Structure 1
Amino acid sequence: MGIGVSASGSVVLSEVLGTIRLKVFLSGMPELRLGLNDRVLFELTGRGTNKSVELEDVKFHQCVRLSRFDSDRTISFIPPDGDFELMSYRLHTQVKPLIWIESIIEKFSHSRVEILVKAKGQFKKQSVANGVEISVPVPGDADSPKFKTTAGSARYLPERSALLWSIKTFPGGKEHLLRARFGLPSVRAEEEEGRPPIAVRFEIPYFTVSGLQ
């Protein structure tokens, strides 16, 4: 899932880039059939017809019998052994960010900068985000980093002009804070418009936002 949020908090990009992967341990060459929920539409031409779950840029593995799919939308295939990608798709959908990020940056007489980052899980408490990585841009000449977090750990990546906040597990509904301080040895004006966005990466097992079942 890819989501872009403006500085004012508005969602400017919301799409799902999904795949269906299979791991096969079958003897012989059985034919398998995969059925999806009735709300799913496969839109191969890019033209929308209604507000159901509409998949675009659909690509199938070469084992899928496309003639069968064209006739009744059944995904019929004789799978190869082992792990493979059965299909990939793209979906435009309006969803809120699953981990909401707020940041406050304060500069003090060009001698130091302090950054406060708040991260909140906006998904159900029963789910847990794993391997959360929050990349926060910092001035290119920053040094002497100091961090304090309520969860996980943070480190400075000077080659990327960013700090990386890593949280191993992030339960839904929880909120965590990071405070960072950097020295600024040089005096220079930084253009606000040229600052890269904060980037967030994570995985939530058995969680879907696409409506695909």
Structure 2
Amino acid sequence: MVKVSYILGANIVGIVGFLPSNTYFLFRCVRLSRFENDRTISFIPPDGSFDLMTYRLSTQVKPLIWVEAQVERHSRSRMEIMVKARSQFKERSTATNVEIELPVPSDATNPNVRTSMGSAAYAPENDALRWKIKSFPGGKEYMLRAEFTFPSVTAEEAIPERKAPVRVKFEIPYFTVSGIQVRYLKIIEKSGYQSLPWVRYITMAGEYELRLM
């Protein structure tokens, strides 16, 4: 998603590179004829922040952070969770503020958690274990191991386990999945106002869920 914020009245011209999608949406201030001709996005922006352009990719993209979770019940009163998180992007990029939320049974108690990177905390109000990693470089793999205990119950009293997904949140600065780039950005402002054009790339996880099998 391309976002911009400029002063009202400036005429802004930018050229984007190869756009790997036919499904895109441009804000109403964009001069469509020029964009269709040479991929130049020329517009007079409204006041404030807005989405200049959005697009969808039709190609399959592998998960940037892949999570594998294995659950073992050692008895009716003890469970162990083993999790691997692997970054599937190049080493020159780094994911930040990574948060992996793992579902656990509602009656789990006495968590004992160990991680090879980051920190993990039990969130009983959400029936989840949250694993946070501040910096996750590309091509790396980290592990988490957690043990929980449960009240002693009989087979008749046991509550069926819910199949909640594993949720993953992250950001990757200076990285785009599509490879789209802004080749240049020019601001034409005749009143003499000094402007500082700049472009920042960032990939953010949206609805990013993995199912436990």
- Note the residue ranges of structure 1 that are not aligned, 5 or more in a row: 1-18, 41-52
2:16 and 2:39 in contact (8 A); partners too: no
CA RMSD of aligned residues (A): 2.2
Give the conservation status (yes or no) of the 8 Å contact 1:134–1:201. Answer: yes
Aligned length: 177
Q: Secondary structure at the match of 2:16?
A: coil
Q: Which has the higher contact order (CA 8 A, sep 6+)?
A: 2
CA-CA distance at 1:159 after TM superposition: 2.3
Contact 2:115–2:143 (CA under 8 A) maintained in structure 1: yes
- 2:165 maps to amino acid: P
Pairing 1:108–2:74 present: yes
Query: For residues 152 and 58 of structure 2, what CA distance do their matches in structure 1 show?
Result: 44
Larger Rg: 2
> Does 2:156 correspond to 1:190?
no
Shift in Å, 1:147: 0.9
- Give the Cα–Cα distance (whole angstroms) in 1 for the partners of residues 160 and 44 of structure 2: 58
Counterpart CA distance in 1 for 2:169 and 2:89 is 15
Task: Give me the whole-angstrom Cα distance separating, in 2, the residues matched to 1:151 and 1:145.
Answer: 18
- Normalized against structure 2, the TM-score is what? 0.74
Q: Deviations over 1:91-117 (max 9, x none)?
A: 232122111211111112210111011
User: Could you say if the C-alpha distance between residues 128 and 70 of structure 1 is closer, same or farther in structure 2, counting changes exceeding 3 Å?
Assistant: closer
The alignment status of 1:208 with 2:188, answered yes or no, reads no
Partner of 1:152: 118
Q: 2:29 aligns with which of 63, 76, 79?
A: 63
Mean Cα displacement is larger for which, 200-209 or 95-104?
95-104
Q: Distance in 1 between matches of 2:10 and 2:165?
A: 49
The aligned runs of 1:108-147 (5 Å cut-off) are 108-147=74-113
- Structure 2 unmatched ranges of 5 or more: 182-213
What is aligned with 1:12?
none
1:24 aligns with 2:6: yes
Partner of 2:14: 34
Cα offset for 1:204?
A: 0.6
Deviation beyond 6 Å, 4+ runs, structure 1:
none
Distance apart, 1:161 and its partner CA: 1.4
Cα displacement (A) at 1:128:
0.6
> Per-residue deviation at 1:173?
1.4
Write out per-residue CA displacement over residues 116-148 of structure 1, whole angstroms, 9 at most, x where no aligned residue: 111111211111100000111111211111211
1:171 and 2:137 matched:
yes
Return the alpha-carbon distance in structure 1 between the equivalents of residues 39 and 137 of structure 2. 37
Give the residue type in structure 1 aligned to 2:160. Answer: E
% same residue: 54
